[in-house]
Amino acid sequence: MDLLIWLIIIPLFTIFSIGIFNYINKKFVLPVVFTSAILQSGIAIYYIINRNNLLPQLYNVGNWQRDIAINLSIDNFTLVIFVLIAIMPLLSLLYSITEIQRKPAKFYLLINVLLLGASGMVMTADLFNFYVFFEIASISSYALVAFRDEDISLEAAFEYLIIGSIGSVFLLLGIVLTYQATGTLNMAMIPGRMAEIPVITRQVLMSLFIIGLGVKFALVPLHAWMPDAYQGSPISYIVLSSGLVVNVYFFVLVRILFIFFGVEFFQETIFTNLIVGWGVLSMLFGHGAALQQDNLKRLFAYSTIAQLGYVIIAFGLGTEAGIVAGSFHLISHALLKGAIFFTAGNLHKATGSYQIREMKGMAEKMPVMSIIFVLMLIGMVGIPPSNIFVSKWLILSAAVEAGYLLPAFMIVFGSFLSLGYYLRPVITIYTGYTGFPGKLPLLKFNEYFPTLLLAGICLIIGLFPGYILNIIDTAPEFLLEQSNFIIHILGG
């Protein structure tokens, strides 16, 4: 069954019809949004469960031949993001019911636009079509950052908009030049013709793609927007951004680099060392900057930057073990960071602030949430039963196996560094009791359920990593061997 096109049609229908439903009766909005979110998750889960007999799958939009149509494709590497599409949007929407009181219809519209962009970017096998979905996702991100209508969110949105527009300009330039140099936009036809381009030009094209997409997943010199944007935006958006969309941008960059330029191109030049070094740098920078933050949201934004550094190291190794380890870390970081942001939002209900010093004595007011928070922060460092431990262990062994001993050492060092800033909120929460708890805030079902579910999933993955490893262990086939991808798209 070609269910994958419904991952595009369902959000499109929701986007276009939500205004009409809102006009008729505001009560219709929530059921429509949740039906669409459940259907999207269901499709993703369907593909994950039936991966052995369905994948790889190709869909020619408009029924044209494969070489001229815009193709949508799902292969085993796509499943990395499908795991997140199955889990994150639904929980984020559930959490947003109480968080978003002002203009909820607009919020759900924008979230659906974001999901449409994410699914489109992951599945498309056409370069310009990718740009369209990239802009769809970007444009809704800008608005979601500005959604709370506070001074700080508007400024952050403007900053993000400027940096993001520069990024998309570079991406568009890269796509246009690629078209001019190869005469095609089909991602499977580009690699063969890419080999004829002189090396310097190929490197310029590669830098354009890296800058354009790197802006979006906060690659280190281009990361400035992320802490500001997270500080001012609603938790439901942050969870979706750091738990899904940022990973999608990274995923697409990886696919473009591996498929267009080929892993041999990196290994012949010094690029492998450069990328691994870049990953180490962004990891150390992220950890270092997080040490100085007073605001929980900013702290976790920098920690996201650092964690993506680990993923960059893993993918930069260019080996099969590295790709599996990187994909695993991508998934487990997204899930755990989502849970942490939900918990931070829940703790915020008691304090009314995200400043760490205002969290004194939280353990009194919200004992259960505080314990979960502490456990998750320790898990984020990489202490055994957590899923981050498994993924860091995989990255470490992949790096040692590939002979990168210094980066491997840096991974361990970075984790100790991160212990420093995760301990600070923990200590604040468990000290400075006021004695009198005051009025205790009551958490609603839709606020604690997503937190507990995500934390539970993380724990299960940490104890039984096989569930996820089974899904992603065939992912490298479609990255390392360009021919697999090309045959999949263009046929034999």
Partner 1 sequence: MILLYPTIVLLICMGLYTVLTQTNMIKIIIGISIVESSIILLLGAMAYFPGAAAPVLDHPFELVADPLPQALGLTAIVINASTTAIMLALVIKLHNRYDTLNIHEIKKLRG
Partner 2 sequence: MKNISFNKLFSFSLVSLLGVLLLISFYDISNLEVTLSLSEHYINYGVEETGAINLVTAILFDYRAFDTIGEATVIFTAASIVALILPQHEASMLKTEFTPIVHQSIAFILPFFWVISIFLIAYGHLSPGGGFSGGVIISAMSILIIFTYGFHYMTRRFNVTRLSLIEDFGALLFLSIGVFGLIYGGSFLANSQAGVYLGNPGELLSGGLMPLSNLAVGAKVGTGLSIIFISLTRED
Binding residues for partner 2 (CB under 8 A): 5, 8-9, 12-13, 15-17, 19-20, 23, 59-64, 67-70, 103, 106, 109-110, 113, 116, 120, 128-129, 132-133, 135-136, 139-140, 142-143, 146-147, 173, 177, 180-186, 189, 193, 196-198, 200-201, 204-205, 207
The SS3 of residue 475 is coil
Q: 42 or 104: whose CB is closer to partner 2?
A: 104
Q: Looking up tokens 């304090």, which residue turns up?
A: 351
The SS3 of residue 59 is strand
162 binds partner 1 (CB under 8 A): yes
Question: Which run of H or E residues covers position 74?
Answer: strand 70-74
215 binds partner 1 (CB under 8 A): no
Q: Answer with the entry of partner 2, partner 1, none that 9 interacts with (C-beta below 5 to 8 A by kind).
A: partner 2
- Per-residue burial over 125-145, b = 16 or more CB atoms within 10 Å of its CB, e = otherwise: bbbebbbebbbbbbbbbbbbb
Which residues are CB-neighbours of 51 under 8 A, at least 6 positions away?
A: 76, 79, 471
CB of 157: closest distance to partner 1 in angstroms? 6
Choosing from 180, 200, 352, 438, the residue that interacts with partner 1 (CB under 8 A) is: 180
Q: 231 or 343: whose CB is closer to partner 1?
A: 231
CB of 172: closest distance to partner 1 in angstroms? 5
d(CA 311, CA 333): 10
Closest listed residue to residue 408, CA positions, set 392, 386, 390, 424? 392
The SS3 of residue 218 is coil
CA distances from 305 to 226, 247, 344, 346, 430 (A): 9, 11, 18, 23, 27
Q: Answer with the entry of partner 1, partner 2, none that 59 interacts with (C-beta below 5 to 8 A by kind).
A: partner 2
Q: Which of the stretches 15-23, 99-107, 163-171, 393-401 binds partner 1 when contact is defined by CB under 8 A? A: 163-171
6 binds partner 1 (CB under 8 A): no
Which residues are CB-neighbours of 36 under 8 A, at least 6 positions away?
A: 10, 11, 13, 14, 112
Burial class (CB in 10 A: 0-12, 13-18, 19+), 405: exposed
DSSP state of 91: H
- CB-CB contact of 376 with 455 (8 Å): yes
166 binds partner 1 (CB under 8 A): yes
The SS3 of residue 124 is strand
Q: Answer with the entry of partner 1, partner 2, none that 15 interacts with (C-beta below 5 to 8 A by kind).
A: partner 2
Task: Convert residues 83-122 into a mask of x (bound to partner 1 by CB under 8 A) and - (unbound).
Answer: ----------------------------------------
151 binds partner 1 (CB under 8 A): yes
CB of 196: closest distance to partner 2 in angstroms? 7
Q: Answer with the entry of partner 1, partner 2, none that 413 interacts with (C-beta below 5 to 8 A by kind).
A: none
157 binds partner 1 (CB under 8 A): yes
The gap from C-alpha 310 to its chain's centroid, in whole angstroms, comes to 14
Q: Residue 52 forms beta bridges with which residues?
A: none
CB of 102: closest distance to partner 2 in angstroms? 10
Closest listed residue to residue 224, CA positions, set 156, 140, 142? 156
Cα dihedral 388, 389, 394, 397 sign: positive
Choosing from 9, 152, 270, 487, the residue that interacts with partner 1 (CB under 8 A) is: 152
Q: 15 or 79: whose CB is closer to partner 2?
A: 15
The gap from C-alpha 314 to its chain's centroid, in whole angstroms, comes to 16
d(CA 411, CA 408): 5
Q: 157 or 359: whose CB is closer to partner 1?
A: 157
CB of 196: closest distance to partner 1 in angstroms? 18
155 binds partner 1 (CB under 8 A): yes
Which runs of consecutive H residues, i.e. helices, occur in 100-126? 104-123
Closest listed residue to residue 35, CA positions, set 8, 11, 67, 68? 11
Sequence length of the chain is 492
For the chain, the 3-state helix, strand and coil shares in percent, each to the nearest 5, are 80, 5, 20
d(CA 470, CA 392): 18
Task: Convert residues 121-140 into a mask of x (bound to partner 1 by CB under 8 A) and - (unbound).
Answer: -------x---x--x---x-
Q: 200 or 442: whose CB is closer to partner 2?
A: 200
Task: Report residue 26 as tokens.
Answer: 């505001």
CB of 169: closest distance to partner 1 in angstroms? 5
CB of 47: closest distance to partner 1 in angstroms? 29
Q: 102 or 439: whose CB is closer to partner 2?
A: 102
Q: 147 or 251: whose CB is closer to partner 2?
A: 147
CB of 191: closest distance to partner 2 in angstroms? 15
Choosing from 17, 60, 98, 165, the residue that interacts with partner 1 (CB under 8 A) is: 165
Q: Answer with the entry of partner 1, partner 2, none that 166 interacts with (C-beta below 5 to 8 A by kind).
A: partner 1
Choosing from 3, 54, 61, 172, the residue that interacts with partner 1 (CB under 8 A) is: 172
Q: Residue 59 forms beta bridges with which residues?
A: 72
d(CA 233, CA 424): 23
Q: 131 or 266: whose CB is closer to partner 1?
A: 131
Positions that interact with partner 1 (CB under 8 A): 128, 132, 135, 139, 142-143, 146, 151-152, 154-155, 157-158, 161-162, 165-166, 168-169, 172-173, 176, 179-180, 185
